[in-house]
């Protein structure tokens, strides 16, 4: 499983995580592809008005 994490605004990092183990009553779904929107990229670069003042920022 991969995720994009902005630990410092302006710097997006991609991480690989192990597959989650569901708790009782939970279901794991298989997601094949997810896109990062231009809005997410602008927020991470701090070029959008809604950019957070603090990090980390998770997308």
Q: Where are the domains of the chain?
A: 2-19+31-58
Percentage with pLDDT > 70 across the chain:
75
By CB atoms closer than 10 A (0-12, 13-18, 19+), residue 15 is exposed
User: What pLDDT is attached to residue 24?
Assistant: 96
Residue 16 neighbours by CB distance under 10 Å: 7
Average pLDDT over residues 25-54: 78
User: What pLDDT is attached to residue 52?
Assistant: 65
d(C-alpha 12, C-alpha 14), whole Å: 7
Cα 26 off chain centre by: 21
User: What pLDDT is attached to residue 53?
Assistant: 65
Percentage with pLDDT > 90 across the chain:
10
d(C-alpha 11, C-alpha 13), whole Å: 7
Q: What is the pTM of this model?
A: 0.38
- Residue with the bigger pLDDT between 17 and 7: it is 17
């Amino acid at each position: 499983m991969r995720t994009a994490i902005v630990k410092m605004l302006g710097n997006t990092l991609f991480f690989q995580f192990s597959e989650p183990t569901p708790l009782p009553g939970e279901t794991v779904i298989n997601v094949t592809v997810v896109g990062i929107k231009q809005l997410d990229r602008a927020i991470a670069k701090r070029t959008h008005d809604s950019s957070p003042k603090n990090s980390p920022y998770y997308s």
